[in-house]
Structure 1
């Protein structure tokens, strides 16, 4: 039987945007530098173009990816494997924005398959541990010629003026469908759950540690890459109704319903039960424990744990609170 495993920080260095101190403080350790803004939790995904960077290791030193490939039913469950094989369908990160991230988009699965030869797009969602301002979606329809001019001229003021600026607080969640322009604001600290690919198309790069004209288009050129951008505008009410979910007092699902086809995220606390299945636990507060049929594990704020389906039903006790990220239902 495979048991739940507590994981060490997994923080790729030298990212092109700055991080802050919050991951190190939250995790009571790990890397702390100006360009270490992410912790890839229970990752079986590499950074774009890398062979192994981004992959999580178990305490034994073995890659989690390799364990899942060898024992897919034990990790993912029979129904999941029958539907998707050994694909976890999931990547979870901690992200601490030391500066506003650039305006960018992620391709959807169809675009990623046709132009990049990969299995997933990159729809993502953010659960906020510390709030701030995010930019999301177009306020009106955008002409593709105008968009290209903004990118070529790096007219960031025009881009941001065409987007919604949304204030978010701790516990709020935002869904970012593939193709939607977005930028996370400085000071935001989030649990990010997403499809398991590292695919970003930059619309903005001035002031960031990256050569945007050569690296911002995933190697396919901006003529092709910008076709991944959804140019449709929407009303503020429609956008917030579909993509923003304010924190609820009760445990349970934290993401807008449209996320369920891609991934799930639930807030849990004392007395919560999870059915068998693959999951990634981020302990957001308190102390307590997690129990399963053949064992238990003490939990404190900042812990991250990967749950195998083999563990069966899991129960949380004590004063712990956590976010649990899971694949879609098979």
Structure 2
């Protein structure tokens, strides 16, 4: 049974916003990277499907099995006994490469409670962005917004008013931003990032004009905007509170804001000498450079690494060592006790 796999590109087609070129460039060693200009997301280590679809979005292993099926069949192998005891076969993790070929519309992801009570899903969607190429992002409201005012903005598609009421943050390569569930947000044009998130595809659109999506029909998770907009965090966020969500140039255990740890973990590690990592289910993204990864098990083969690689590591792999001259981002589910 496999314990470590290179994952090929997994890009749902015909998304409603543009992008894809930066994923192809980053994944230059992957001949299967999708073509076209509406493939802006690469779903890595995914046991999640597009909202309303039974299969699209699932990662496949080299033998053709979906990761979701593999985990269901052998949860201890993939996730480890502590994870299974705490969360069952839920991986608690989805990683994406995201290329914003244009500014994404302002949108919101629900909390766990809202998602369970209104949509019937196991999670809401907290997320964090590790920035590969920077730009401008929009996060949270600068003042408290009444529900009626928000509803009027959305009905009229008054995007100017929505953006004017939000914080604007400049981000650079190496920064990270944690986006709590409920917070309205938008990723600016030109940004390329790795997204670490809860494993759901749940978005409530506050904006849709000029995008290839029918917002009134598809922007509210099928529950209607009257209910869906209640998922929005309409509180005023201070500049200091927004700044606490941003980590500038973080490495090791300080890659993401501490407040994200209940949902997921990510750690950027710069390797210039053999570096050993603890066992645990994870997705490894090679940010730059070249090197090798070797498991601690006797007879384990060294596997080459290069920039743009994405790897899936099972708990059963045990400790593993990365050597060479490279930078990696290790993404993991929340820690268990």
CA distance in 1, matches of 2:4, 2:51: 28
Secondary structure of the structure 2 residue equivalent to 1:180: coil
- More moved, 253-262 vs 289-298: 289-298
CA distance in 2, matches of 1:42, 1:261: 19
1:301 is the counterpart of 2:307: yes
**1:246 alignment counterpart:** 248
Superposed CA deviations along residues 214-234 of structure 1, whole A, max 9, x for unmatched, are 100000000100000011011
CA distance in 2, matches of 1:32, 1:273: 36
**1:11 alignment counterpart:** 11
1:158 is the counterpart of 2:164: no
Contact 2:278-2:318 at 8 Å conserved across structures: yes
CA distance in 2, matches of 1:85, 1:147: 38
Contact 1:286-1:300 at 8 Å conserved across structures: yes
Equivalent residues, number = 328
Residues 149-228 of structure 1 mapped to structure 2, 5 A cutoff: 149-228=152-231
Contact 2:3-2:78 at 8 Å conserved across structures: no
CA distance in 2, matches of 1:76, 1:19: 32
State the TM-score, normalized to the length of structure 2: 0.96
Contact 1:2-1:310 at 8 Å conserved across structures: no
Q: Which runs of 5+ in 2 are unaligned?
A: none
Following superposition, the deviation at residue 140 of structure 1 comes to 0.6
**2:113 alignment counterpart:** 110
Secondary structure of the structure 1 residue equivalent to 2:129: strand
**2:62 alignment counterpart:** 59
State the TM-score, normalized to the length of structure 1: 0.98
Following superposition, the deviation at residue 320 of structure 1 comes to 1.7
Superposed CA deviations along residues 147-184 of structure 1, whole A, max 9, x for unmatched, are 00000000000000000110000000000000000000
Following superposition, the deviation at residue 3 of structure 1 comes to 2.0
Contact 1:253-1:264 at 8 Å conserved across structures: no
Superposed CA deviations along residues 280-313 of structure 1, whole A, max 9, x for unmatched, are 0110100001111233211000000000000001
CA distance in 2, matches of 1:182, 1:98: 16
Give 1:292's match in structure 2, choosing from 295, 298, 308. Answer: 295
Q: Which runs of 5+ in 1 are unaligned?
A: none
CA distance in 2, matches of 1:291, 1:269: 17
Contact 2:20-2:41 at 8 Å conserved across structures: no
